[in-house]
């Protein structure tokens, strides 16, 4: 079995968005319940999270943004925008979420674990350099990617974002850089409104932002084929040194905030597809960090399927060959848009 690290912390549960909010602490409890019920809690390595430093947060965020989130500490409820709120410990939780991501990265780099799953809250991929957004305070995956390039000296980091929502924050933070390639498959048009195929990056980063905007109703085979026909050739050419996955479980077929149709078995196949790519190009260095996913039963079963793959308890077959999918026209269009930058 592979050595798989998980990151958990009481602060990820204590962060509270208020009654009725879909991004609830119960999301973490559902995954913990799964880990205990399946006894996978005994098979994973517990990675000790830490707080990200101000210097680490400001690798991607402005000092003003850091101070704005810090100013919420100790306050019962602060509304940062219509759907992004904080409680007294949200700042602490956000530091621990970004720091937990870094701790997972360090554990993979050191060889303590082969792969990792930071089970963090609050999520991160909507947070812009200068503002919180979409339930997100600090951009965990962006902090992790910047830590790899700016602190650890890597030159090619790949961020794969399969959340149902486009990761506007991650895209904008890295859109002018070739050191971080951002690949997103997401429902479109949809919140937050970004992520059109024509958004390819700017300056030195042109071609290093790859957006695959998907119609609602797409499921396992569409994602598998997109990853096979678009993502895999890009990975072959980019040759990332580390892969970070923004794993949003809101592409689950019954998620209240999304319109995709991915099954639990689909999550297993996507996980195996990506770990195979990591094994091929970067000695298996990959972490999957929690973003969205708001159906608690869906989160339970989907993370179970993902972890069974990460632990190598099972190996799902994902090759669908030339099977027709609802994404075929989209795939051809994406290949045209990105043909100036990549060979397909």
Q: Which residue has the tokens 């904080």?
A: 86
- Asked if the structure places residue 210 within a domain, the reply is yes
Write down the pLDDT at residue 57. Answer: 99
- Asked if the structure places residue 343 within a domain, the reply is no
Residue-range definition of the domain harbouring residue 236:
4-337
Write down the pLDDT at residue 12. Answer: 99
Please answer whether residues 210 and 183 qualify as being in contact, where contact means their C-beta atoms are separated by less than 8 angstroms.
yes
- Asked if the structure places residue 11 within a domain, the reply is yes
* Strand spans (E) along the chain: 4-7, 45-47, 78-79, 85-86, 115-118, 157-161, 180-187, 209-214, 242-247, 286-290
Q: Spell out the alpha helix ranges (H) of 111-190.
A: 140-146, 168-174
Contacts of 321 (CB under 8 A, 6+ apart): none
Task: Print pLDDT tens along the chain (344 aa).
Answer: 999 999 999 999 999 999 999 999 999 999 999 999 999 999 999 999 999 999 999 999 999 999 999 999 999 999 999 999 999 999 999 999 999 999 999 999 999 999 999 999 999 999 999 999 999 999 999 999 999 999 999 999 999 999 999 999 999 999 999 999 999 999 999 999 999 999 999 999 999 999 999 999 999 999 999 999 999 999 999 999 999 999 999 999 999 999 999 999 999 999 999 999 999 999 999 999 999 999 999 999 999 999 999 999 999 999 998 899 999 999 999 999 999 999 99
- Asked if the structure places residue 315 within a domain, the reply is yes
| Torsion angle of C-alpha atoms 115, 245, 230, 263, degrees rounded to 10 | 90
- Asked if the structure places residue 175 within a domain, the reply is yes
Q: Report phi then psi at 197, rounded to 5.
A: -60, -30
Domain count, the chain: 1
104 secondary structure, DSSP code: H
- Asked if the structure places residue 344 within a domain, the reply is no
- Asked if the structure places residue 160 within a domain, the reply is yes
Please answer whether residues 116 and 305 qualify as being in contact, where contact means their C-beta atoms are separated by less than 8 angstroms.
no
Q: Report CA 256 to chain centroid distance, whole Å.
A: 19
227 secondary structure, DSSP code: I
Residue 21 among the catalytic residues: no
Write down the pLDDT at residue 152. Answer: 99
- Asked if the structure places residue 25 within a domain, the reply is yes
- Which CATH number fits the domain that encloses residue 235? 3.40.800.20
**Selected catalytic residue, list 15, 65, 125, 126:** 126
Write down the pLDDT at residue 81. Answer: 94
């Amino acid at each position: 079995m592979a050595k798989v690290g998980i990151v958990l912390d009481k602060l990820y549960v204590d962060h509270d968005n208020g009654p009725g909010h879909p991004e609830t602490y119960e999301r973490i409890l559902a995954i913990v319940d799964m880990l205990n019920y399946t006894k996978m809690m005994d098979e994973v390595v517990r990675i000790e999270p830490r707080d990200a430093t101000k210097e680490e947060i400001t690798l991607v965020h402005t000092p003003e943004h850091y101070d704005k989130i810090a100013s919420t500490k100790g306050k019962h409820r602060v509304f940062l925008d219509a759907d992004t709120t904080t409680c007294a410990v949200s700042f602490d939780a956000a530091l621990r979420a970004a720091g937990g991501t870094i701790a997972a990265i360090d554990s993979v780099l050191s060889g303590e674990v082969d792969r990792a799953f930071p089970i963090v809250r609050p999520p991160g991929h909507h947070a812009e350099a200068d503002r919180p957004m979409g339930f997100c305070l600090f951009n965990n995956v962006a902090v992790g990617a910047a830590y790899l390039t700016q602190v650890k000296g890597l030159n090619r980091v790949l961020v794969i974002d399969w959340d149902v929502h486009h990761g506007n924050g991650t895209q904008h933070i890295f859109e002018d850089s070739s050191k971080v390639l951002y690949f997103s498959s997401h429902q479109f048009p949809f919140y937050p409104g970004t992520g059109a195929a024509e958004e390819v990056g700017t300056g030195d980063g042109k071609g290093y932002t790859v957006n695959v905007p998907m119609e609602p109703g797409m499921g396992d085979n569409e994602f598998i084929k997109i990853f096979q026909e678009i993502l895999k050739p890009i990975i072959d050419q980019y040759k990332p040194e580390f892969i970070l996955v923004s794993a949003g479980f809101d592409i689950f077929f019954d998620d209240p905030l999304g319109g995709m149709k991915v099954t639990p078995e689909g999550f297993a196949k996507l996980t195996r597809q990506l770990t195979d790519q990591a094994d091929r190009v970067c000695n298996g260095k990959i972490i999957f960090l929690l973003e969205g996913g708001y159906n608690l039963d869906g989160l339970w079963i989907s993370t179970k399927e993902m972890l069974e793959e990460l632990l190598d308890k099972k190996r799902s077959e994902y090759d669908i060959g030339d099977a027709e999918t609802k994404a075929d026209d989209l795939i051809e269009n994406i290949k045209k848009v990105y043909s100036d930058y990549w060979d397909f």
